[in-house]
Structure formats: C-alpha cells, structure tokens
Amino acid sequence: MLPDSAPDHPEPLKELLHDVSKKIIPGLTHWQSPSYFAYYASSTSVAGFLGEMLSAGLSVVGFTWLTSPVATELEVIVLDWLAKLLQLPDHFLSIGNGGGVIQGTGCEAVLVVVLAARDRIMKKVGNTSLSQLVVYASDQTHSSFRKACLIGGIHEENIRLLKTDSSTNYGMTPKSLEESISSDLETGFIPFFICATVGTTSSAAVDPLVPLGKIAKSYGIWMHVDAAYAGNACICPEFRKHIDGVENADSFNINAHKWLFANQTCSPLWVKDRYSLINALKTNPEYLEYKVSKRDEVVNYKDWQISLSRRFRSLKLWMVLRLYGAKNLRNFIRDHVNLAKHFEDYVAQDAHFEVVTTRYFSLVCFRLAPVDGDEDKCNERNRELLATVNSTGKIFISHTVLSGKFILRFAVGAPLTEEKHVNEAWRIIQKHASIHNKKY
C-alpha cells in the first residue's frame, strides 16, 4: 500500500493522517483495547501521555548532570518516591551508596546488573576466571536473563536454570538452589549471580525471596529481583509480602510501563551499591569531562546504563505519581486484580475448564480440561481454542506451556478494562469452547 521510496516534496498533513487511519491503524494489535488480555499489559494514561509529549517536545539528552541538570535530579527524586511507596530498604535510596535509575526495559536492567556483578567478582578472582563463572535462575525466568548472560560473556553451559513444577506453583525452590551452588563449588566453579523473579512471564509465579536472599548472602552472591510485572502491585500493602526478603537483594527492578500507567518505556532499577554499576559501565572521554568539587556531588546516568544518550523518562513518572496519587494507583491495580478474580470464578464454575495455577495478581492461567486423561489431545484442543478465539478479533489472549501442558493466559491490565469486557471475553471463550467440545 505504500510507495517504494520516500517523497521528494512535502505532503499535506491531512493526506498523511488519512494514510495513518487507512493503512496503519488496521495493521495494529490494539494493546490499549479494553479487550486486550494477552502477555502483560503495556499500560498508558493521560498523565503518562502528557509526560511523553513534554519529553518529546523538550527533547533533552541527559546523559550527564551538566547536559540537563533537572532531568538527572528529577529522576533521583522520583525513584526515591517510588522506592518509598514500595517500602524498599533504605540502601536502595539515593541518600547512601545505592540509588535508582530508569532503564528502558527489564531486559536492559538485568543486563547492566549482570555486568556489574561479573566485574565485581572478577576483581576478586581474576580476569582469567570468566569460564568458571556460574549464574542461577529458575526455568521460568524471563528469556532476557539468558541473553544478558551471553552478552556478558558467561558460557551458556554455566547458566543454571533450575527446574520448577506445580508443587511450588512454579517458584524456585531454595533446596535446588543450595544443592546446585554446593555442587558447583565442589567442582571448581564460581557462583556469582542469582536472578529471582516476582511474577514470572508464564504464570506470575513468585520465587521465595527470603530464603533465596539468605542463601545469596551466605555465599556472597549478587541477587537480582526481576519484578517487572508484579512489582508494581507491591505499592499495595496487601501485595507487599511478595517482595519480603528484598532487603538481601543487590538490585530490584519493575516495569512502570507494564502496570503503573507510565507509558512505554519506563523500567526503574534500584541497586544497593551504585559503584558496582558505575565501575562496570563508566566511560570518561575528554569531551564529556566537567569539573565538580566532590565525586558524589552529581549523578551521571550515562554510567548506569549501556547507551550514552537517554530520554527524560522521569518526567512522565513524576506526572503519573502527581496527577493520580498513590491512593488511586493502588485502586487501579486492585480493580484489575478483582477483575481477574471475576474471570477466574467463571473458569472454576465451568466443568469443561480448569484453573491451572494459583492466581496471585491479575493473571489467570487456565485451560480446557483433559478428557479421559488424554494430555496430548487436551493440548491440541487448547491450541485450537486459542487460535479460534483470537481470530474473532474481539479479544486477544496468549498462551504458555507448563509441565508439558498448553495453557491459556488471561491477563487483566489495560487501563480501560471493565467488568463488562471480562464478561464478554468469557462469553466468547465459552462459546467457541462448546464448539470444540462437540467436535471432540
């Protein structure tokens, strides 16, 4: 529908917007639709949009304090605000050796802390020990962890993805971690990094931070907590228990663009020791030098991330927190959790379906139940149901596989979703399930 090359002369805005309407919009997956229930949401808001618009208009590049002082200082302040809402330990605040930085995504966050932890351990054991370094996570950990390790030079065979199952609702077991670390130490490997997850991508499973953190501390291993999705819910007192034990973590990350209405992209990361991060990532070319009286007088965020350039992301987070307030943000999250429970109740009341995992937040994992114990046929039926439901174009859900079972995921998080949308989604699913049941 589009020409092979860019135009030589300006085209009318009206014509351009017409093309957006006719050629772009129809090809989108509408993540902001109230009937979007796939993956995890990419939440937006008027406050977040205004912040993005102002940031785009101002277009500052705040890689050092000097290049836009308020961009740096606002980020420091807003991340302290958010850390306090999450009741994070004081060592994650800017008042000490720790602090926060807004990364683009959780993928970037885990990469920079893997690099920081790698450099910290190699200063102790020597630069020739890279092939002996070992990392740990569960088999439910986001795929970005493996990618981060490979970028950081960790040998793939040294990435320990510990098996989980339904007995722990797919959370990592402290016993398996302890045994793996002990075995590696006996064979000359050097354990240096644990990635724990609060709200896994597949099923929103929660790794037990308290015992995992104690293990990490006893062995001197860096523990990172990936709470990209579910960490946002921990601003609510009733969900804060899921990050108990974070006091023993070296770093902690959430994606505010997932469930805190901050618009893409906004991924706050807090570290216990900023200097581990800075020492791994700093660059000091002459053209970026400027004089300050004390080393810690200013923050230069270029040394807390991979790229040099950075956007003024703190502006939209500041506007979200101010224009909605913590009370309203908590209620938004509670509403989504209640809507998920509403859907879960529908599933539980229909004998043709089953809820597969314990629901902690706003994700329901469910499936058409097997007939006569035939798991292969059950997987096939659920694959077909997913394809049929999504082909209607009226709702969008996604899937995962747990213990060899093909699972349907229903994640509530779009800002405009109401009970009527959940009701309609269940009606569509149930309608097409009945057709498949007759077929089989």
pLDDT of residue 298: 87
DSSP state of 8: S
Instruction: Summarize the confidence of residues 36-43 as an average pLDDT.
Output: 95
Do residues 434 and 426 make contact, with C-beta atoms less than 8 angstroms apart? no
| Bond prior to 64 in cis (omega within 30° of 0) | no
Q: CA separation (Å) from 401 to 142, 206, 227, 398?
A: 14, 17, 21, 11
pLDDT of residue 294: 65
DSSP element (H, E) containing 409: strand 405-411
How many H-runs (helices) and E-runs (strands) does the chain carry? 12, 11
Distance (Å, rounded) from C-alpha 325 to C-alpha 319? 9
**Arithmetic mean of pLDDT over the chain:** 95
DSSP three-state, residue 193: strand
pLDDT of residue 205: 97
Q: CA separation (Å) from 299 to 63, 89, 100, 270, 276?
A: 10, 20, 11, 14, 14
Q: For residue range 375-409, what is the model confidence (pLDDT) as tens digits? A: 999 999 999 999 999 999 999 999 999 999 999 99
Distance (Å, rounded) from C-alpha 439 to C-alpha 368? 13
Do residues 234 and 227 make contact, with C-beta atoms less than 8 angstroms apart? yes
Instruction: Give 147-155 contacts, CB < 8 A, sequence gap 24+.
Output: 147/107, 147/111, 148/107, 148/110, 148/111, 148/114, 149/114, 151/111, 151/114, 152/111, 152/114, 152/115, 152/118, 153/118, 154/114, 154/118, 154/130, 155/130, 155/131
Distance (Å, rounded) from C-alpha 167 to C-alpha 366? 17
Q: For residue range 270-295, what is the model confidence (pLDDT) as tens digits? A: 999 999 999 999 988 888 888 776 66
Q: For residue range 180-204, what is the model confidence (pLDDT) as tens digits? A: 999 999 999 999 999 999 999 999 9
Do residues 197 and 242 make contact, with C-beta atoms less than 8 angstroms apart? no
pLDDT of residue 293: 64
Domains of the chain: 49-321 (3.40.640.10), 325-439 (3.90.1150.10)
Lowest model confidence (mean pLDDT) among 226-230, 291-295, 411-415: 291-295
pLDDT of residue 407: 98
Distance (Å, rounded) from C-alpha 113 to C-alpha 305? 10
Buried b / exposed e along 287-303 (16+ C-beta atoms within 10 A): eeeeeeeeeeebbbbbb
Q: For residue range 334-353, what is the model confidence (pLDDT) as tens digits? A: 999 999 999 999 999 999 99
| CB proximity list for 273: less than 8 A, separation 6 or greater | 97, 98, 250
Q: Is the pLDDT of residue 143 over 70?
A: yes
Q: Is the pLDDT of residue 433 over 70?
A: yes
**SS3 letters for 255-298?**
CHHHHCCCCCCCEEEEECCHHHHHHHHCCCCHHHCCCCCCCCCC
Instruction: Summarize the confidence of residues 408-435 as an average pLDDT.
Output: 96
Taking the model in full, what pTM does it have?
Answer: 0.95
Do residues 410 and 37 make contact, with C-beta atoms less than 8 angstroms apart? yes
